[in-house]
């Protein structure tokens, strides 16, 4: 690899949170093995049930991780943005992909081949600690998702989502963040999301504008988010 190409990778990888705390030797090893790929909106990056080729790192763009039922219903597990990593389970267990990953917009992805990644772990304990921390955070995310789907009604899930994504009292809506995508994330259908959003607007809790949602009454939204469904 020429110095110019390596310098370019260093510039990119130093901006990725996953690698910011690595020592110089580990960082150089990681960047030397990484291969860049580009994906268009709607393109499948990983398909559930197929083997993964390595560890994937998002340079830019947005992706969604989904499970599909036999009748085609989608449950979105997570959205992934710049600096996030996926397919660690495939790398460390050799198992097939547990979910499908799809590009929501034009995205650049770096892939470190599985065999290279495993050899890096043998030699660089700093990277092992980083990966363990990342996997633990993903487990916590999935626990929260299960809690929401099983213990909260759609109204409560929607309220929690808005509070999580708000910057101050404003939620900036990306072009791909349609009601269909939101419904898949919250385990429901678009019509229910539409009715829920309209109800919150009529109650003076939200103001829905072009490309953004503003929280007008945070206390009421917090109250909705905290309600747990009784068995």
pLDDT, averaged per 10 consecutive residues of the chain (231 residues), comes to: 62 73 76 90 93 86 92 89 86 85 95 85 78 83 80 88 91 89 89 94 93 93 79 46
Q: Provide DSSP, 35-89.
A: EEEEE-TT-EEE-TTSPP-EEEEEEES-EEEEEE-TT--EEEEEEE-TT-EE-HH
- For residue 219, the model assigns a pLDDT of 94
CATH 1.10.10.10: does it fit domain 154-226?
yes
pLDDT at 4 (0 to 100): 57
Q: What is the pTM of this model?
A: 0.76
Q: How far apart, in whole angstroms, are the C-alpha atoms of residue 48 and residue 97?
A: 5
What CA–CA distance (Å, rounded) separates 191 from 7?
A: 49
Q: Where are the domains of the chain?
A: 3-149, 154-226
Q: Estimate to the nearest angstrom the gap between the alpha carbon of 12 and the chain centroid.
A: 20
CA dihedral 174, 164, 200, 142 (to 10 degrees): 100
pLDDT value, residue 228: 66
Could you list the beta-strand ranges (E) of 107-157: 107-113
- Say if strands 85-86 and 170-172 run parallel, antiparallel, or are unpaired: unpaired
Tokens of 118: 């495993």
Which option is the CATH number for 3-149: 3.40.50.2020, 3.40.50.720, 3.90.870.10, 2.60.120.10? 2.60.120.10
Give the Å distances, CA to CA, from 180 to 73, 160, 175, 215, 216: 11, 18, 12, 21, 24
């Amino acid at each position: 690899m020429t110095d110019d190409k390596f310098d370019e990778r260093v510039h990119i990888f130093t901006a990725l949170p996953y690698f910011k705390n690595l020592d110089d030797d580990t960082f150089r090893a990681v960047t030397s093995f990484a291969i860049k790929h580009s994906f268009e909106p709607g393109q499948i990056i990983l398909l559930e049930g197929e083997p993964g080729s390595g560890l994937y790192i998002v340079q830019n763009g947005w992706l969604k991780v989904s499970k599909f039922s036999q009748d085609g219903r989608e449950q979105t597990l997570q959205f992934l943005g710049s600096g996030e990593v996926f397919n660690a389970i495939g790398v460390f267990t050799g198992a097939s992909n547990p979910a499908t990953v799809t590009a929501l917009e034009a995205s650049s992805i770096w892939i470190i081949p599985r065999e290279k990644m495993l050899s890096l772990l043998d030699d660089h304990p700093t990277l092992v600690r980083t990966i363990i921390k990342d996997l633990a955070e993903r487990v916590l995310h999935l626990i929260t998702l299960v809690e929401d789907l099983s213990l909260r009604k759609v109204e409560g899930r929607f309220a929690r989502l808005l509070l999580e994504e708000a910057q101050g009292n404003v939620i900036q809506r990306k072009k791909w963040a349609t009601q269909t995508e939101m419904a898949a994330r919250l385990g429901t259908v678009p019509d229910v999301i539409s009715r829920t959003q309209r109800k919150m607007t009529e109650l003076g809790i939200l103001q829905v504008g072009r490309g953004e949602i503003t929280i007008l009454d945070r206390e009421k939204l917090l109250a909705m988010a905290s309600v747990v469904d009784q068995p």
